Structures are given as structure tokens and as C-alpha cells.
């Protein structure tokens, strides 16, 4: 089984007539995702992609006509916050925002409202989700994944592919791979998804990929410590060698009271029973050993 | 993006927040008239000479000095303007001081700390205030965390800080509600919040915010960072960018849309994706090597991007070898391989290359490399790639 997206997900693409939206929309549909339509204001009534899916002016109209429940956003950064809110107000269950470069202030307002709604947001600035052999909602390369029982939660893009590839090479499949995004403000955090994966009976183990900055990995470790039945978690935190002071002002770290360095995060996660690897090349092997 | 103290103070002034005022000078010929003007217009007999560089800890490095009179100010200003300022944040090589601010000197009764920063965990802007102003706030946070007061503001309020929250902060700083300073504080807290939101700042810091002997609150120093993602709609902030404060190699990389940070090692790195780029640096270190740079060629690495990346990495004479690690999802490995081959033929300086291409069209890519006749070490696994690169670098 999988979480959040599966073969029954009915997906639309916001920005479907744009370059990114049309290319990746097509790729998702070719993977086997039920891509039922798209939205581009002013282009309602047209058809898009080689599959000739209908284009609507608004998300609301798309939902009425197609009963879609998942939206995939490729709208440019200046308008992406608005696109997320439109999907939320139309009642979409899952909103996946791939767009990179959304101003933080816009996301603060969006995050506040998403929290109070029934919609879940993944991203922004993320590669999206992939439930192997079921649905791809995003830009991950489908061919590296294999259906199975390991869930993946990652802040990164290509590093996620690296982890997925290592697992697949060892014959270990995945339930769902989720790229949560690297921005300061994102819709779904690690702890939240960690709980979702623990509630999924088919997910047996997890890979967590984090990096320097923020306190999300610490929060995930705290959440993990609270769980009554724990699934094994392998984690890698990128940025041990990244130069300090390149991050946003240290005042951010003072507020959260957390040490944002890779070393501090790794130490804390280990103390809560997470199998943290130092080398990114050891993610697959370590999982293999844990599942054996 | 960062701006200088004098620029941050211009913004504070524009938002009606009282500042320690002064004049900014770029060349030594302008020093004397600036001092005269500060004395005349601000009625100040003593002065502070402040180096304008983006690095923090200026005072510790001798970049901020008090002058009791005009003569002292003149000699100190000459000393600081043009000096190579070394602070805890500049590294040993220091930073050339190209601008100084000559300000009035104030009679200070008490110093506070005031900042607004993004709290990622709460997804809100937060105030940080403290009675332990004028000091390194990270040190205060570490040694006496009880002296730091944090307060978050719900984004639903827009850019208007509710009045009760401003009062709450002023009470926490133990200001007398009957005094002028209390009124000053309310105004400063409210306006600083408005400024932060309207300008898309990610950090605004006033350290110290001083209570003068005359009973007024004034911003003695100011530091501002802005959200790079919002610069497209903050043209006035963008116009304040000072390229002198940025690394020339990193600026060159930006022109090619490459994300590059120079480091001190000898293994050059060319990777797609920031996370994988950091992971590649980490594994080089684990294998006993040292990365020369962070370089993310981005999601659409083409033959042209690869060529540009080569020239930027090779501009660093320390680089002994280059490790190329590309995971082709959207990016096609054959295009990257072609870029590597083309670049190797056209570049003057050559170093050994370890190449790892995985994913889309990796097989075609391998063929291109094999048929090129170039001495490129082609590897399959990440660990192998790091081992090879480190060995080559340590040998050369």
C-alpha cells in the first residue's frame, strides 16, 4: 500500500499549459497516474497533453467536472501562493506544489490557512510524491523506483533519487517516496509524515533524508520517540562539511533553541533510536541489514 | 541578501524609527567635511567611526571606535577607512573597508536587544528582545537563556502588530509605562514589524537599542537580511546590493545560474541538486579528502552549463581533481557526458576527472566517454567515486 497518492488519486495540474506543467503532466500520465485535467486561467475549454485532457479556468470548475482530489502545481513563484489557496478553497484533499522560489512571507499566510483547512500541502520547492506502480505526482524519475514496503521522506531532490536507487538496486521496494521540499516554510513536515507512514500497515521501515538548517529533523526524532510501535528508520543528514554562516541569520536558530548543524541533528536523532548513517552511500546497505 | 548598517538605518528612518544618525564616506578626501557636518547638524561633540562591511563582530576587530573630539575622529576615520578588517566572521584574510559611517555619539543609560526573525518551526515571525543588549546575542542565548524573550506574531494579523503585543514586549523589558521611552518602544515595535513584512526581510536586528540619558529609545546599530525569493518585488532593496561584499567567484557563477560556494579543499565538485551536492562533499570528507567547492548545476544541466561549471571550478588553483556526480532524472546523462567531453577539449587547464552518471541515458553517456579517448575515470557507485577522487587529489 501507499500513503497520500495511489492508483485511485484523480490528479489535475495547475499551470498545465506552461512548459514545466505540460512536460511533467505528460510524464505523470505516462507513468499511469490518473491525470484527469488541468487549470490555466483564460484557457478553459482547451485540451492539453497528448492525452487531450480538458483544461479549466478555475480549480473549482475542474473539481466539479472531474471529481479530482489532488492538485499538482507548476505555477510561477509570484502566483504559486495564490494557486495553493485556490486549490484549498476548492476543497482539494492533497495539494503538491513543485514551484521553487516562493517568497517566505507568502508561504506564512498560506501555511496558516492550510493548517486550518482540510487540505494537505506537500512542498513547495519539492519533487513531489511517487507511489511505485500506482501514481506519480511530481517530477521524480519513475524508473528508479520499485514497489515495496519502505517509505521515504526527504528534504532533497536528487539525493532522494540516490537513496531510492540504492534501495531498488538491493531489491528493496518503496511504498511511497515523498520529497517534502527544502524551503523554510513547507506544508507537511517530517514528523507529520513519519506518523502517517507508521499508520500505514504496508510500510515496514523508513528512510529519512534531512539537511542542515531548521529544526525539522529534531522534531521528527521527538515524534519518533513518542511512538508506541516503532518501525526502523534509517536517516542521513546532508551538510556536515557545509560552511557555517551561509545560512539565514542565526537569530532563527536562537528562536527555536535548536542547534541546526548536521552534527547536532545526527547526535540527537541517534539518541532517539534512529539509525543515522554518516555516508550517503550507506543508506541502502543499512536498510538491508535492518530488514534482514 | 544583506545590506549595510547605513542602508538599514535609512530604512529605519523612513519608517519613523529613531536612529543614531551620521554620514557615510567612501574616500578619505570626504572625511573632514563629514565630521564637520555631523558636528554641526547633529550637534555632536564626540563621534563614532564605524566600518561598513557585511560581516558581524566589527567592534571586536577594531572596526568601530569612539572619538572624543574632531581631531581623534579624523585620525580614526583615516585608520579605519581602507583597513583590512578581521572579525570573527570574516576569516583570517579579513575584509577591505570601503565605506565608513561617521556618527554622533550618544549618552547611553541602558542597552537592549531587539530583533524580528523568521521562526521556521512555528511558521511565524518572532520578536526576540532582551535587556542584555549590545552583546553577542548568541552568547547570551547560550549562557543566560532566561534573559531572552521570544514572542511570535500570527501572520493572520497582516503587517499590523496588535497594540497589546507591543505593550507586552515593552512591559517585559521593564520599561516604565509612564515614561517617554515606553511610548517610544511601542512605536518602534509596531513600525519594525511593518517594515519587516513590507520589505520581505528575513531578519531585522537592532543591537543595541539604547535608552539615552535623555530618556529616549534610539537604534544604535542595525542589521537587515532579505528573502532572496522576494527580491523581484523589492526593487529598492535590490538596488542596495553591494557587489564588493560578495565573493567574485560566486558572482561569476551566478551569471551562469550556477549555485556555487568556494571552500578550501582540493577536490572540485560538480553535482546536480543541492542535497546531493552537500552529500557528495560529506562523503569526500569521510574518505579523507577535502572538497574545494559546493556546486549545484541545477535541474537542467546542459552541455553549456557543464562547460561553465568547469571554468569556475578550474579558476581555483587548489583544485587537483574534479568529481562529477550527476543523478539523471529529468537531466539526461548523455548531454552531460557530451558537455564534459567538449569542455575537456576546449579548456586550457586539465585535471583528472572522476565521472559518475546515473539514471536517464547513462548507457549512452558511458559510450560517449569511452569513445572520446579522454582520460576520464568513469565509476558506477558513489562510494567508489569519492574514493577515486580523494586518491587522485592526495596523490597530485
Q: What is the DSSP string of A229-265?
A: S---EEEEEE-TTSPTT-SS-THHHHHHT---SHHHH
Q: Does B286 touch chain A (CB under 8 A)?
A: yes
User: A130 is written with which cell numbers?
Assistant: 511517487
| Chain position carrying cell 567612501 | B26
Give B261's contacts (C-beta < 8 A, 6+ positions apart). Answer: A243, A246, B250, B293, B294, B295
Give B318's contacts (C-beta < 8 A, 6+ positions apart). Answer: B264, B265, B266, B292
Q: What is the CATH number of the domain that holds A107?
A: 3.40.50.720
pLDDT (0 to 100) of residue B50: 97
Helix (H/G/I), strand (E/B), else coil: A283: helix
Rounded Cα gap, residues B129 and B171, in angstroms: 11
List the domain range (segments joined by +) for residue A112. Answer: 10-122
- For residues A19 and A82, membership in a common domain is answered with yes
Rounded Cα gap, residues B340 and B370, in angstroms: 12
- For residues A111 and A157, membership in a common domain is answered with no
Rounded Cα gap, residues A127 and A197, in angstroms: 19
Tens digit of pLDDT for each residue in A218-266?
999 999 999 999 999 999 999 888 876 554 344 555 555 567 888 999 9
pLDDT (0 to 100) of residue B136: 76
Q: Does A244 touch chain B (CB under 8 A)?
A: no
A93, A122, A151: which is the final residue of a domain?
A: A122
Residue in B89, B141, B329 closest to A158 by CB: B329
pLDDT (0 to 100) of residue A248: 36
Tens digit of pLDDT for each residue in A35-72?
999 999 999 999 999 999 999 999 999 999 999 999 99
Task: Note the helical H segments in B15-154.
Answer: 31-42, 70-80, 137-143
Rounded Cα gap, residues B357 and A220, in angstroms: 32
Answer yes or no: are the C-beta atoms of B157 and B194 closer than 8 Å.
no
User: B225 is written with which cell numbers?
Assistant: 537580511
A95, A122, A149: which is the final residue of a domain?
A: A122
Residue A184 lies in a domain: yes
How many residues make up chain B in this entry? 396
User: A223 is written with which cell numbers?
Assistant: 515524534
A91, A122, A153: which is the final residue of a domain?
A: A122
- For residues A63 and A150, membership in a common domain is answered with no
Q: Which residues of chain B have a pLDDT value below 70?
A: 299-301, 396
Closest to A66 (Cα-Cα) out of A16, A18, A23, A30:
A16
Selected residues 20-39 of chain A with any CB under 8 Å from a CB in chain B = none
Under 8 Å CB pairs connecting chains A and B tally to: 183
- For residues A117 and A153, membership in a common domain is answered with no
Rounded to whole angstroms, what are the CA distances from A91 to A25, A59, A71, A114, B160? Answer: 21, 9, 10, 11, 30
CA of A197 vs chain B CAs: smallest distance (Å) = 21
pLDDT (0 to 100) of residue B350: 84
- For residues A76 and A161, membership in a common domain is answered with no
Residue A28 lies in a domain: yes
Q: How high is the mean pLDDT of chain A?
A: 93
Give A38's contacts (C-beta < 8 A, 6+ positions apart). Answer: A12, A13, A14, A15, A16, A17, A21, A25, A48, A49, A53, A54, A55, A56, A62
Residue in A139, A241, A278 closest to B330 by CB: A139
Residue in A140, A141, A155 closest to B275 by CB: A155
- For residues A281 and A150, membership in a common domain is answered with yes
Answer yes or no: are the C-beta atoms of B89 and A249 closer than 8 Å.
no
Residue in A139, A154, A278 closest to B286 by CB: A278
What are the φ/ψ torsions at residue A90 (nearest 5 degrees)?
Answer: -80, -5
Rounded Cα gap, residues A132 and A24, in angstroms: 16
Residue A26 lies in a domain: yes
Beta-carbon neighbour count of residue B370 at 10 Å? 12
Beta-carbon neighbour count of residue B300 at 10 Å? 12
Give B155's contacts (C-beta < 8 A, 6+ positions apart). Answer: A108, A109, A111, A112, B123, B124, B125
Contacts of B381 in chain A (CB under 8 A): 281
Residue A133 lies in a domain: no
How many residues make up chain A in this entry? 292
- For residues A30 and A116, membership in a common domain is answered with yes
Residue A114 lies in a domain: yes
Contacts of A104 in chain B (CB under 8 A): 118, 200, 202, 227, 229-230
CA of B226 vs chain A CAs: smallest distance (Å) = 9
User: B322 is written with which cell numbers?
Assistant: 574534479
- For residues A148 and A272, membership in a common domain is answered with yes
Residue A284 lies in a domain: yes
Residue B43 zone, left/alpha/beta (φ > 0; ψ -120 to 50; rest): left
Q: Does B297 touch chain A (CB under 8 A)?
A: no
Answer yes or no: are the C-beta atoms of B295 and B271 closer than 8 Å.
yes
Number of domains in chain A: 2
Q: What is the CATH number of the domain that holds A160?
A: 3.40.50.261
Q: Is the pLDDT of residue A91 over 70?
A: yes
Contacts of B202 in chain A (CB under 8 A): 104, 248-249, 252
pLDDT (0 to 100) of residue B145: 86
Rounded Cα gap, residues B19 and B39, in angstroms: 16
pLDDT (0 to 100) of residue A247: 44
Tens digit of pLDDT for each residue in A166-197?
999 999 999 999 999 988 899 999 999 999 99
**Is residue A250 flagged as an active site residue?**
yes
Rounded Cα gap, residues B58 and B5, in angstroms: 11
Q: Does A165 touch chain B (CB under 8 A)?
A: yes
Do β-strands B223-226 and B148-153 pair in parallel, antiparallel, or remain unpaired? unpaired
CA of B215 vs chain A CAs: smallest distance (Å) = 28
- For residues A113 and A145, membership in a common domain is answered with no
Query: Residue A59, Cα to own-chain centre: how many angstroms?
Result: 21
Contacts of A236 in chain B (CB under 8 A): 279
Choose the catalytic residue: B5, B104, B113, B388. B113
Answer yes or no: are the C-beta atoms of B147 and B140 closer than 8 Å.
yes
- For residues A115 and A149, membership in a common domain is answered with no
pLDDT (0 to 100) of residue A250: 45
Q: Does B160 touch chain A (CB under 8 A)?
A: no
Residue A190 lies in a domain: yes
b/e B114-125 (16+ beta carbons within 10 angstroms → b):
bbbbbbbbbbbb
- For residues A217 and A80, membership in a common domain is answered with no
Give B238's contacts (C-beta < 8 A, 6+ positions apart). Answer: B1, B231
Residue in B118, B285, B328 closest to A240 by CB: B285
Rounded Cα gap, residues A127 and A181, in angstroms: 7
Q: Give A43: exposed, middle or buried? Use CB within 10 Å, 0-12, 13-18, 19+.
A: middle
Contact B118 A252 (CB under 8 A): yes
Residue A193 lies in a domain: yes
Beta-carbon neighbour count of residue B319 at 10 Å? 20
Tell me the HSE value of B186 on the side-chain side, using a 13 A CA sphere. 14
Answer yes or no: are the C-beta atoms of A69 and A94 closer than 8 Å.
yes
- What secondary structure letter does DSSP report for A45? T
- For residues A90 and A209, membership in a common domain is answered with no
User: A251 is written with which cell numbers?
Assistant: 537569530
pLDDT (0 to 100) of residue B257: 83
Do β-strands B321-328 and B267-271 pair in parallel, antiparallel, or remain unpaired? parallel
Amino acid at each position: 500500500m501507499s500513503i497520500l497518492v495511489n492508483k485511485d488519486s484523480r490528479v489535475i495540474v495547475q499551470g498545465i499549459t506552461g512548459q514545466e506543467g505540460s512536460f511533467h503532466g505528460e510524464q505523470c500520465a505516462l507513468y499511469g497516474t490518473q491525470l484527469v485535467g488541468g487549470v490555466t486561467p483564460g484557457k478553459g475549454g482547451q485540451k492539453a497533453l497528448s492525452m487531450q485532457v480538458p483544461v479549466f479556468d478555475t480549480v473549482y470548475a475542474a473539481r466539479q467536472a472531474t471529481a479530482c482530489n489532488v492538485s499538482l502545481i507548476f505555477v510561477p513563484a509570484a502566483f504559486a501562493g495564490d494557486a495553493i489557496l485556490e486549490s484549498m478553497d476548492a476543497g482539494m484533499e492533497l495539494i503538491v506544489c513543485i514551484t521553487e522560489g516562493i517568497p517566505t512571507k507568502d508561504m506564512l499566510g498560506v501555511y496558516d490557512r492550510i493548517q486550518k483547512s482540510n487540505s494537505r500541502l506537500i512542498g513547495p520547492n519539492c519533487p513531489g510524491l511517487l507511489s511505485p506502480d500506482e501514481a506519480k505526482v511530481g517530477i521524480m524519475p519513475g524508473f528508479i523506483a520499485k514497489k515495496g514496503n519502505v517509505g521515504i521522506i526527504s528534504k532533497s531532490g536528487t539525493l532522494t533519487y540516490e537513496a531510492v536507487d540504492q534501495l531498488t538496486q538491493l531489491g528493496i521496494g518503496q511504498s511511497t517516496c515523498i520529497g517534502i521540499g527544502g524551503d523554510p516554510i513547507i506544508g507537511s513536515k517530517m514528523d507529520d509524515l513519519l506518523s502517517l507512514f507508521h499508520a500505514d500497515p504496508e510500510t515496514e521501515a523508513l528512510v529519512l533524508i534531512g539537511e542542515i538548517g531548521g529544526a525539522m529533523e529534531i522534531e521528527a526524532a521527538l515524534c519518533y520517540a513518542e511512538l508506541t510501535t516503532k518501525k526502523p528508520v534509517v536517516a542521513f543528514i546532508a551538510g556536515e562539511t557545509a560552511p557555517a554562516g551561509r545560512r539565514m541569520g542565526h537569530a532563527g536558530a536562537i528562536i527555536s533553541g535548536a542547534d541546526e548543524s548536521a552534527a547536532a541533528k545526527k547526535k540527537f536523532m541517534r539518541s532517539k533510536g534512529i539509525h543515522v548513517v554518516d555516508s550517503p552511500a550507506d543508506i541502502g546497505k543499512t536498510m538491508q541489514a535492518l530488514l534482514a | 541578501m544583506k545590506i549595510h548598517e547605513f542602508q538599514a538605518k535609512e530604512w529605519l528612518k523612513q519608517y519613523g524609527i529613531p536612529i543614531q544618525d551620521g554620514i557615510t564616506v567612501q574616500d578619505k578626501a570626504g572625511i573632514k567635511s563629514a565630521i564637520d557636518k555631523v558636528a554641526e547638524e547633529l550637534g555632536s561633540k564626540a563621534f563614532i567611526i564605524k566600518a561598513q562591511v557585511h560581516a558581524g563582530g566589527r567592534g571586536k576587530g577594531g572596526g568601530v571606535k569612539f572619538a572624543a573630539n574632531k581631531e581623534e575622529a579624523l585620525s580614526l576615520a583615516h585608520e579605519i577607512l581602507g583597513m583590512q578588517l578581521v572579525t570573527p566572521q570574516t576569516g583570517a584574510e579579513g575584509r577591505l573597508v570601503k565605506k565608513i559611517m561617521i556618527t554622533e555619539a550618544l549618552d547611553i543609560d541602558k542597552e537592549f536587544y531587539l530583533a524580528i526573525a523568521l521562526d521556521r518551526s512555528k511558521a511565524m515571525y518572532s520578536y526576540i528582545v532582551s535587556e542584555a543588549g549590545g552583546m553577542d546575542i548568541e552568547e547570551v542565548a547560550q549562557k543566560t537563556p532566561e534573559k531572552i524573550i521570544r514572542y511570535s506574531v500570527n501572520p493572520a494579523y497582516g503587517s499590523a502588530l496588535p497594540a497589546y503585543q507591543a505593550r507586552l514586549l515593552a512591559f517585559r523589558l521593564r520599561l516604565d509605562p509612564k515614561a517617554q521611552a515606553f511610548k517610544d518602544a511601542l512605536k518602534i515595535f509596531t513600525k519594525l514589524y511593518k517594515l519587516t513584512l513590507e520589505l520581505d526581510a528575513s531578519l531585522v536586528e537592532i543591537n543595541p537599542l539604547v535608552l539615552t540619558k535623555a530618556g529616549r529609545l534610539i537604534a544604535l546599530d542595525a542589521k537587515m537580511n532579505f528573502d532572496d525569493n522576494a527580491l523581484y518585488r523589492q526593487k529598492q532593496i535590490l538596488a542596495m546590493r553591494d557587489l564588493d561584499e560578495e565573493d567574485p567567484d560566486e558572482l561569476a557563477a551566478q551569471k551562469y545560474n550556477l549555485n556555487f560556494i568556494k571552500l578550501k579543499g582540493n577536490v572540485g565538485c560538480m553535482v546536480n541538486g543541492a542535497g546531493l551536492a552537500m552529500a557528495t562533499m560529506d562523503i569526500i570528507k569521510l574518505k579523507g579528502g577535502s572538497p574545494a567547492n559546493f556546486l549545484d548545476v541545477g535541474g537542467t544541466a546542459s552541455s553549456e552549463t557543464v562547460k561553465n561549471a568547469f571554468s569556475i571550478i578550474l579558476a581555483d588553483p587548489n583544485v587537483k581533481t574534479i568529481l562529477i556526480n550527476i543523478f539523471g532524472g529529468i537531466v539526461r546523462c548523455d548531454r552531460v557526458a557530451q558537455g564534459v567531453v567538449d569542455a575537456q577539449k576546449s579548456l586550457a587547464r586539465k585535471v583528472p576527472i572522476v565521472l559518475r552518471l546515473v539514471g536517464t541515458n547513462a548507457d549512452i553517456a558511458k559510450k560517449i566517454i569511452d569513445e572520446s579517448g579522454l582520460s576520464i575515470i568513469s565509476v558506477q557507485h558513489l562510494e567508489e567515486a569519492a574514493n577515486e577522487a580523494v586518491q587522485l587529489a592526495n596523490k597530485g
